[in-house]
A and B are shown apart, each in its own frame.
Chain A
Amino acid sequence: MSEEKLYSLRNPWFSISVGITVAIAVLSAVAGLIWFPLLQPNLKLSGIWDAICSAAGVPGLSTQAGAVPPAFKTSNVVMTPEMLTRQDQVSIGRGATLAQRCAICHGPQGVSDANSPNLAGQYAAVTYKELNDFKTGARVNVVMTPFAANMTDQEMRDVALYYAYLPRVPSSLVNPNLTPPAIVVTGAPMRNIPPCGSCHGEIDVKAGSPWLGGQSAVYIKAQLQAFASGARRNDISEQMRNVARQMTAEEIDQVARYYEAQP
């Protein structure tokens, strides 16, 4: 047995097994890379090399001409999960100064009592994105638009980081014993409504989704209605409009009242 040479074409185990393996590999490659692609007229292949390259998966950039341009301003923020997640003391300091002009509506500590959003402890990426959208006109508000119009990109980042740095302050309406409504806990799957907390922070965070706890019910309700009607359209690729337009008026009320009472 020991004198039997395995790696020799004379050994049938070697020659047959290698031969069959190579034959199958070559045949399947010829069929998969050349023959089948050429049988498909819809691929519009320019020749054998094009067939091989496309079947092997050589990528091309998606180039479909004739896209219909938007009839309204959409957000131009490139949102990533790590956007503005690092604290920066210098930036926060500049933000504190800049934020003085926001205090009239948003409160000196970022907590408003005028139904404007509370900004204390808000995710920096959220504040930045909304400022940017006000500036570009993707979101419109008579008060905010002129404020944002004169801000530089760095100023928007500074303000956002400053507010993210401030601690969240529980509102006077906080009621931790309130039973969360079904629409908050489970959403309504078949209506494409996931649980609010799967994006807004209680369970998980989706980049660009604000923390809702303690926001004024009036504000939340107004925004949900605006998303539902299409009056507000700065959510990238309709991510919030898809949810809001599926909600009933009653559910919108429930959500607004629930989040107002949360820390």
Chain B
Amino acid sequence: MTSETDHSHGPHGLGEAVAARIERRWAALSIVIVGVLVCMAAFIGIHQATMPQGRVETADPTTLHLSGEFVESNLGSALEADGSVTVRAIGQQYSFTPQCLVVPADTPITIRATSADVVHGLLIEGTNINTMLVPGYVSDLPIRFKSPGEHVMPCQEFCGIGHQGMWGKVQVVDQTAFRNMAASKRRLTCVD
């Protein structure tokens, strides 16, 4: 290696050693940038509890309707003993069941969903709720809605020729309204 006093200038007067030094500094800066970005992502992930699903669970898509938690009568929102809500849904060509989810605002909610046939996706517009439904596996994610309102819930993954028609809905109601509804029915939906 040449020393920094090297003066073997190139055509525009930049010595090799100087050029290499500038370059090394930039490389170090680049490494720092990347390091900061990775650490930031990890930090936010932990402190806002937005890590990906913690466990992998399987479910047979052809027998969802026969037994287990995804039978028709068990789909929809369930009020749990601890005050949280579990929403169960399936995606199929070309609808979600339930077609309309009803959930309380400002309450911890767990969505558990799977696919009965091909790969689907579940996205609730106006929120960060977004997951894949892969046949054979159960998607499980914690969510929370800030305030009451209506959202559309399209399938976000190509699932066949009717994909563009696969739009569900989500109704977010206030907590008391939800509790009143839950008093008379064990699984709630807003399907008329």
* Interface residues of A, Cβ cutoff 8 Å to B: 31, 36-37, 39-40, 42-43, 54-55, 57-62, 64, 67-71, 74-76, 78-80, 187-195, 197-199, 203-204, 206, 236-239, 242-243, 245-246
Interface membership of B8, Cβ < 8 A = no
Interface membership of B177, Cβ < 8 A = no
How many angstroms between the C-alpha atoms of A19 and B28 in the bound complex? 17
In the complex, which residues 57-91 of chain B have their Cβ closer than 8 Å to any Cβ of chain A? 57-59, 62-75, 78, 90
Interface membership of B46, Cβ < 8 A = yes
A/B interface sample: 25 pairs, CB < 8 A: A37-B54, A39-B46, A59-B137, A62-B138, A67-B71, A68-B187, A69-B73, A71-B73, A74-B65, A74-B71, A74-B72, A78-B63, A189-B164, A192-B94, A195-B161, A195-B165, A197-B161, A199-B93, A199-B162, A203-B161, A206-B160, A236-B116, A239-B97, A242-B191, A245-B191
Contacting residues, chain B, for A246 (C-beta < 8 A): 99
Taking the nearest CB of chain A, how far is it from the CB of B108, in angstroms? Answer: 9
A43, B54: Cβ atoms closer than 8 Å? yes
* Closest chain B residue, CB of each to CB of A240: B95
Contacting residues, chain B, for A61 (C-beta < 8 A): 57-59
Contacting residues, chain B, for A238 (C-beta < 8 A): 72, 95, 97-99
Contacting residues, chain B, for A195 (C-beta < 8 A): 161-162, 165
Assuming the A-B contacts A31-B42, A79-B62, A187-B162, are A68 and B74 also in contact, with contact meaning beta carbons closer than 8 angstroms in the complex? yes
Contacting residues, chain B, for A242 (C-beta < 8 A): 95, 97, 99, 191
* Closest chain B residue, CB of each to CB of A246: B99
Residue of B46, B71, B116, B162 contacting most chain A CB atoms (<10 Å): B162
How many angstroms between the C-alpha atoms of A59 and B141 in the bound complex? 16
Assuming the A-B contacts A37-B54, A242-B95, A242-B97, are A62 and B152 also in contact, with contact meaning beta carbons closer than 8 angstroms in the complex? no
Name the contact of A78 in the complex, choosing from B62, B167, B192 (C-beta under 8 A): B62
Give the interface size bracket for B toward A: 35 or more
How many angstroms between the C-alpha atoms of A24 and B140 in the bound complex? 29
How many angstroms between the C-alpha atoms of A238 and B54 in the bound complex? 30
A78, B165: Cβ atoms closer than 8 Å? no
B95, A67: Cβ atoms closer than 8 Å? no
Interface membership of B123, Cβ < 8 A = no
B72, A198: Cβ atoms closer than 8 Å? no
How many angstroms between the C-alpha atoms of A70 and B94 in the bound complex? 23
How many angstroms between the C-alpha atoms of A137 and B8 in the bound complex? 93
A36, B160: Cβ atoms closer than 8 Å? no
How many angstroms between the C-alpha atoms of A199 and B94 in the bound complex? 9
Interface string of B133-172 (1 = CB under 8 A from A): 0000110001000000000100000001111111110000
Contacting residues, chain A, for B168 (C-beta < 8 A): 192
Taking the nearest CB of chain B, how far is it from the CB of A91, in angstroms? Answer: 23
* Closest chain A residue, CB of each to CB of B69: A64
Contacting residues, chain B, for A76 (C-beta < 8 A): 65-66
How many angstroms between the C-alpha atoms of A147 and B62 in the bound complex? 27
Residue of A67, A71, A192 contacting most chain B CB atoms (<10 Å): A192
Name the contact of B167 in the complex, choosing from A36, A60, A190, A204 (C-beta under 8 A): A190
Contacting residues, chain A, for B191 (C-beta < 8 A): 242, 245
Taking the nearest CB of chain B, how far is it from the CB of A140, in angstroms? Answer: 17
Assuming the A-B contacts A36-B45, A243-B95, are A204 and B161 also in contact, with contact meaning beta carbons closer than 8 angstroms in the complex? yes
A67, B74: Cβ atoms closer than 8 Å? yes
Taking the nearest CB of chain B, how far is it from the CB of A166, in angstroms? Answer: 27
B142, A70: Cβ atoms closer than 8 Å? no
